[in-house]
Amino acid sequence: MENVIRAVDAESPVRKYVAVGDRLLSINRNRILDVLDYKFYAYDRDLHLVLAKPDGREYRLHVRKPEGGDLGLDFESYLMDRPRSCANNCVFCFIDQLPKGMRPTMYFKDDDARLSFLLGNYITLTNLSEREIERIIGLHVSPVNVSVHTMNPELRVRMLRNRRAGESIGTMKRLAEAGIVMNCQIVCCPGWNDGEELDYSMRELAALWPAVHSVSIVPVGLTRYRDGLAPLTAFTPEHAAETLDQVTAFGDECIRKYGSRIFFCGDELYLTAGREFPPDEFYEEYTQLENGIGMLRLLETEFGSALRLSEDPGRQRCSIATGQAAAPWMRMLADRAMALYPDLEIQIRPIVNEFFGRRITVAGLITGGDLIRQLRGQELGDRLLISQNMLRRQEMDFLDDVTLEQAETALGLPIIPVESDGFVLWDAICGRVPSPPGQRSGCGVDSAGAAGPAPGRDPEYYLYNQNRKPASEAEQRRTEGREPWQDRS
């Protein structure tokens, strides 16, 4: 009964006729099975709705509203259906590497095409039915975010440990032929899909340009909970540097051929290799910012602008807790600010990830427990800045269930979650506190490799209707949160 109406917006054109508890059955004779059906078929100006009362009595309504105007119905669940879990058992799956005892939602492996369209989740395409493929093509749902990992069908079967995983490369080709835009990601695992395999995948994906609009190459994340799992190794600085050179050279060729670089490495690879980030123009439209692609370059650019525009903030003392990978880079930003304004005192506090293991160095996976254990009793200044991405979206707790309030009490100072925006970071350093996390979008101070909607991005991440207005704030609030790592399908 997922199509049961939970609320009717005050501005809804049907507010006088539809009651909470009624069910929406069809729009213009199209059965409404999930949120995509609802959003697509409710777009038109003239709508014939068939609804049912809780006792089963059906009734009909004719609605005239502005084209694209919101029908204003809210359902029991956002998807109007159960979220679909994945059919894979990937060798690199982060969820398999979680410690026991975390809250059950942490272990849910979503691979739901509808969440890709609506929230930007990456999907493997391995569990799509023919009806769903036809619906994507028929409704021209675009862009789709695809976890590709490799274009070699046999290797894809082995990496995703799904005997049908190779077939979805054919699905990608079908979508490309139908003009569906795809933003892709490759979770790169040394010894599996790197080197020549990566070259092969890049060639195959580039051949699908412009349907394949961008491809991110992000390094595999390895926690300390890998007993009994496939043997995987982390990137060394040398291998990260080689991979950067390989992808950059291929991207240079793509610019000559297609006018776009298409392939971009995740910020983590630059940090691992100890390389400078490329300049702004390298990242073109920053298409995969939310996937940790160019996030730190953009943050630095914004921070530099904020410094140039700012007046002397006077005496300010704060600390910034961050992952080990980005700590040197954050220190460079802090030094630049302190050189300009000598009364500033900014300390960078790299946090070792004891919870997931020391190989996890990104800020977005730091837990409240590690933060407290490593910073308790230290002189941190007047406030502690953390990546907003350390907190579960729309909530005020860390991945280990420690709340922000508990961490503040334990450390004895205010903790300010900061999104990945150089201006916001500078404001937070200056003591201008950003709005609470639940009211902001975007990612953390240095959330290299962490995920989430890009700053300001409308989570209604689908374009089958180019004229669709951005989702209302109320609609955004309704969207279900996902954990930072759950994007790496």
State the residues that interact with ligand SF4 by CB under 6 A: 86, 88-90, 93, 95, 109, 111, 124, 489
What is the distance, to the nearest Å, from the Cα of residue 377 to the centroid of all Cα atoms in its chain?
Answer: 34
> Across-strand partners of 144?
182
In the complex with ligand SF4, which residue's Cβ is closer, 97 or 246?
A: 97
In the complex with ligand SF4, which residue's Cβ is closer, 220 or 375?
A: 220
Confirm if 265 and 247 have CB atoms less than 8 A apart: yes
Confirm if 272 and 237 have CB atoms less than 8 A apart: yes
Q: How far is the CB of 483 from ligand SF4 (least distance, A)?
A: 11
In the complex with ligand SF4, which residue's Cβ is closer, 49 or 95?
A: 95
Q: How far is the CB of 88 from ligand SF4 (least distance, A)?
A: 4
Q: How far is the CB of 258 from ligand SF4 (least distance, A)?
A: 29
**Do you find a cis peptide bond into 342, omega within 30 degrees of 0?**
no
In the complex with ligand SF4, which residue's Cβ is closer, 221 or 368?
A: 221
Per DSSP bridges, beta strands 344-351 and 316-323 are parallel
Greatest Cα pair distance, the chain, in angstroms, is 73
C-alpha gyration radius of the chain: 23
Q: How far is the CB of 348 from ligand SF4 (least distance, A)?
A: 32
Q: Which helix (H) or strand (E) holds 424?
A: helix 422-429
- Three-state DSSP class for 265? strand
Nearest 5 degrees, angle CA 328-CA 95-CA 88?
125
Look up tokens 């849910």; give the residue: 108
Confirm if 404 and 391 have CB atoms less than 8 A apart: yes
In the complex with ligand SF4, which residue's Cβ is closer, 95 or 298?
A: 95
Q: How far is the CB of 101 from ligand SF4 (least distance, A)?
A: 19
Q: How far is the CB of 187 from ligand SF4 (least distance, A)?
A: 7
In the complex with ligand SF4, which residue's Cβ is closer, 109 or 317?
A: 109
